[in-house]
Amino acid sequence: MRLRIRYARLGKVRFTSHRDVARIWERALRRTELPVAYSAGFSPRPKLAFGLALPTGAESVAEYLDVELAGAGPVPDELPDRLSAALPAGLDVLAVAPLEAGADSLQHAVTSCTWTVEVLDLDADRAESLVAAALAAGTLVVTRQRKGKAVTDDLRPALLALGVNGPTPAGVELHAELSTQPRGVRTSELLAALDPGLQEGLVRRTHQWIQRDDGRVEPLPLERLPGTVGAHTSRVAERVS
């Protein structure tokens, strides 16, 4: 049986890396004594599948992890809280649900992510005009380093939505939906395309999306899971909306 877990990464713990978080999860699952399935061989590893890497320093309320269990059975109501208690402060489990057999892996299924991006020292009016210009543009060309070579990319096809949320104490907050396929576009690349002088502040992933013929869905929406959101997570859930 596979479980899909949705969790948040907020506060100081956002400075951990994707690899750090993977190790933290392995230890947390052992601490909760969940019967995780292990790979065979000389060096058995727990069977965990993480979704798209979150950049070091970014927050998120939409991180996902699939865990394969050695047996089947109902998901206990208190599991999110038990897992949160075994995780460091700032990593909080928002929802847990069994995954139907044959479901696509997170890496394959997710097609886009929604982000909030704080831009430092920028006022809302200027932000609005940058956003309008980007949405009106036919191409948004950026240059990035790849294997030591400069590569140019057009980000416009990957920019699915962009808007201004409003001012923050240090600048202005934007929201953007960026495609993850064929590759995940970073928010820093988007800012560079808007204006190379922009400085990125706090970044938060708010949603991951799976595009289907009948519309887009989240890998594990929060509202579908009454009863599994504990006191610990409802506080976090407030920050989702």
Binding site for another protein (CB under 8 A): 12-13, 15-17, 19-20, 23-24, 26-31, 33, 35-36, 38, 42-44, 56-57, 86, 88-90, 200
**Closer to another protein by Cβ: residue 22 or 225:** 22
What lies within 8 Å, CB to CB, of 120 at 6+ separation is: 170, 171, 199, 200, 201
Tokens found for residue 133: 């210009």
Least CB distance from residue 91 to another protein, whole Å?
Answer: 9
- Closest listed residue to residue 153, CA positions, set 130, 186, 176, 177: 186
Q: Which two tokens stand for residue 63?
A: 């991180």
How is residue 69 annotated by DSSP?
Answer: B
Find the shortest distance in angstroms from Cβ 122 to another protein. 15
Are 139 and 154 in contact by the 8 Å Cβ rule? The answer is yes
Q: How far is the CB of 43 from another protein (least distance, A)?
A: 5
Cα 10 from Cα 57, distance rounded (Å):
10
Q: Which is nearer to another protein, 42 or 100 (CB)?
A: 42
Residue with smaller CB distance to another protein, 26 or 154? 26
* Euclidean distance between the first and the last CA atom of the chain, given in angstroms as a whole number: 31
In the complex, the smallest distance separating the C-beta of residue 27 from another protein, rounded to whole angstroms, is 3
User: Measured from the CB atom, is 7 or 209 closer to another protein?
Assistant: 7
CB of 26 to another protein, least distance (A): 7
C-beta closer to another protein: residue 65 or 134 = 65
Question: How far are the Cα atoms of 94, 125, 160, 227 from residue 84, in angstroms, in the given order?
Answer: 9, 40, 33, 15
